[in-house]
Amino acid sequence: MSTVKLDGEGAGEEIEIEKKVFGPVIVASGGFAGDSHGLLARYRPDLAALPSTNDARPGSSDLLTAVGSALVDMHFVQLHPTAFVDPKEPEMALKFLAAEMLRGEGGVLLRGRDGTRFVNEMQTRKTVTKAIVDYDEQTVGGLRLWDVDLVMDEGSYKTAKSHVDFYMWKGLMHRGEVSELGPGAVASLQAYADAAASRSRDPFGRTSFGHWKLLHVTPESVVYIGKVTPAAHFTMGGVAINSNSEVLNGNREPIKGLWAAGEVTGGLHGENRLGGNALLESVVFGRRAGEGAAKVWEKTFPFNI
């Protein structure tokens, strides 16, 4: 409320007027993959206490539902199969992503316990994750982890050198020997090396082996090793928006003055997001939200009373 003095007819008289400001507000507060005991546990209890590649911060959809926003697809959550487990602090919820290229350049996944291989590493995130979580869950400091070794030979290391050197600098990978891995590692890696050299078919159907060059695997063979585990990576669900990035209420009508863009929104990716589309959606819908909000701002401000 504010008080203004009239001029012209009734000059000098003071009246009270009520100003309601309808935004413009743009919400771009990200997803809730890192909110493992909050929104993630609420919408996907089966994923509670998972580590995440995202900050452990509260999701913001409650703020939005409080002003009438509708939510969509909240139960669709993408897991990434390979997030590094830092040996110095395995209980840390925030994990550093072990990029897909490590597997693409030839990296192999072995079970930590026995050194067996268990999946075609080139499969989708969903398939590789499922193969991992079907075995041997552990709890470390209240966090759910799986014991998997990501292993690269000299050939794959050389192609991904700048990445692996960075991970080694961070203490997430190290240069070691096959003997450090589980007891079945020599046999598992030899079968993989045979398939990579076209001496046999890969038992898991992998057909591309990146730059793997190790042909004869011994316990002393040099390899690059990092511990990895699945982690909550991206939330497909969030606040409902229309094609202009306006936030929608339960009747699918725009809420005046409210826009949203990026991972806080839902419904764009369906059940699972394709790689690269998160940044794309942020650019497209962020721009639309900005344009819409700017138009309202121009019309509304400055107040001319």
Ligand X SMILES: Cc1cc2nc3c(=O)[nH]c(=O)nc-3n(C[C@H](O)[C@H](O)[C@H](O)COP(=O)(O)OP(=O)(O)OC[C@H]3O[C@@H](n4cnc5c(N)ncnc54)[C@H](O)[C@@H]3O)c2cc1C
Positions touching ligand X (CB under 6 A) are 28-30, 53-54, 57, 60, 97, 234, 262-264, 275-279, 282
80 is catalytic: yes
Q: Measured from the CB of residue 185, what is the shortest distance to ligand X in angstroms?
A: 28
Q: Measured from the CB of residue 133, what is the shortest distance to ligand X in angstroms?
A: 19
Helices (H) and strands (E) in the chain, counts: 8, 14
Give the residue with the Cβ less far from ligand X, 97 or 284: 97
Give the residue with the Cβ less far from ligand X, 78 or 120: 78
Which residues make Cβ contacts (< 8 Å) with residue 187, sequence separation at least 6?
A: 115
Copy the structure tokens of residue 300.
């509304």
Q: Measured from the CB of residue 19, what is the shortest distance to ligand X in angstroms?
A: 25
Instruction: Name the active-site residue from 80, 111, 206, 288.
Output: 80
Q: Tell me if 255 sits within 8 A of 127, measured CB to CB.
A: no
Q: Measured from the CB of residue 144, what is the shortest distance to ligand X in angstroms?
A: 18
Count of all residues that appear for the chain in the document:
305
255: nearest Cα among 282, 290, 301, 293? 293
Of all residues in this chain, which one has the CB nearest to ligand X in the complex?
262
- Rounded-to-integer distance, Cα 102 and Cα 98, Å: 7
Strand partners, 52: 94, 232
What is the residue type of 204?
A: F
Instruction: Name the active-site residue from 44, 103, 269, 273.
Output: 103
Active-site positions read 80, 103
